[in-house]
Amino acid sequence: MDRPRRLRTTPAMRALTRETRLHPRELVLPVFVREGHGAPVPIGSMPGVVQHTLDSLPAAVEDSVAAGIGGIMLFGVPEHRDAVGTGATDPDGILNQAIRVAAQASAGRIVIMADLCLDEFTDHGHCGVLTESGEVDNDATLVRYQDMALAQADAGAEILGLSGMMDGQVAAVRDALDDAGHSNTSILAYSAKYASAFYGPFRDAVESTLDGDRRTYQMDYANRTEGLREADLDLLEGADIVMVKPAMSYLDVLAGVAERSSVPVAAYQVSGEYAMIEAAAANGWINRDAAIMESVHSIRRAGATIIFTYWALEVATWLKDNT
């Protein structure tokens, strides 16, 4: 009789034969930086997560370095917004200031990434500029993305996270970076980014002003093949890393992208995934730490080699304690 249970008999045996292994360097911490506040501001729908200030950001970088994670992804929360997201390309805008502060604090010890999207900076909350009829103008938005890319690269971002889901965004940004002498700046393409209900707490975190939805440019949650096609297109356009977002509800898409990708594959464990586990644990319905580790390992098992998670520091500490 075959007895697979022989390899499950003890913790040591299970550790020896474990198929999926996770390392702190594979984790990335999303970090929100808010303009105009003297102290970090807690985010109500994301217990334990805050909007940092420029003053508190260096300590957050130092904590990330100490935990041994791979990098941080910066998001800006500006005080003022307008129709074209002027603050996204202003060298003194909150996100570009945050990049400079984080890069100086990091001094090359972790990778500094920046979200390249207009939604945090527009007064209508969409990821691009709008036509007179209120539709997102894909090609006009690409021009804004190119300007935003140069501002972020000049500020010191090493990886630009193209999260807007505009057609042709990777090629447009790559051309702009190369023409400006930023050929070493990497592009992380949010290739399969779905229009998801699980983004709700994130919109609290960035104080989104969105009116309506993003279903004309983010993907339909019923589609898998389309997600693979989007990843293929981004690879052809020169993406250095491709991403699937959200993670847990799209592990099938993640596995499909990982099977065909010639570059590292990332997945974003989004705010709603975080909030659900925290809320269930707070009510005593699940074991918090066990659920966190199971969820992160499931993303790694599906094929992600880089995982964006709000638990990055905790998970990294647990992994180091168990080695």
> Is residue 311 within 8 Å of 271, Cβ to Cβ?
no
pLDDT tens digit sequence for 34-57: 998 789 999 999 999 999 999 999
Distances (CA, A) of 87 to 91, 142, 150, 265, 275: 8, 16, 13, 30, 29
Go through the domains of the chain in sequence order and give each one's CATH number: 24-212+224-243 (3.20.20.70)
Kindly state the average pLDDT of the residues 299-304: 98
Percent of the chain topping pLDDT 70: 100
Sign for the CA dihedral angle at 299, 205, 128, 174 comes to: negative
* Model confidence at 211: pLDDT above 80: no
pTM: 0.96
Question: Phi, psi (5° rounding) for residue 108?
Answer: 80, 5
Distances (CA, A) of 100 to 91, 304, 306: 10, 28, 23
Query: What distance in Å separates the CA atoms of residue 31 and residue 41, rounded to the nearest whole number?
Result: 12
Q: Which of 34, 174, 182, 245 is catalytic?
A: 245
Confidence of residue 7 (pLDDT cuts 50, 70, 90): very high
pLDDT tens digit sequence for 114-149: 999 999 999 999 999 999 999 999 999 999 999 999
Q: Which of 193, 254, 269, 277 is catalytic?
A: 193
Kindly state the average pLDDT of the residues 222-242: 98
pLDDT at position 323: 64
pLDDT at position 202: 84
Kindly state the average pLDDT of the residues 263-272: 97
Is residue 193 part of the annotated active site? The answer reads yes
Is residue 245 part of the annotated active site? The answer reads yes
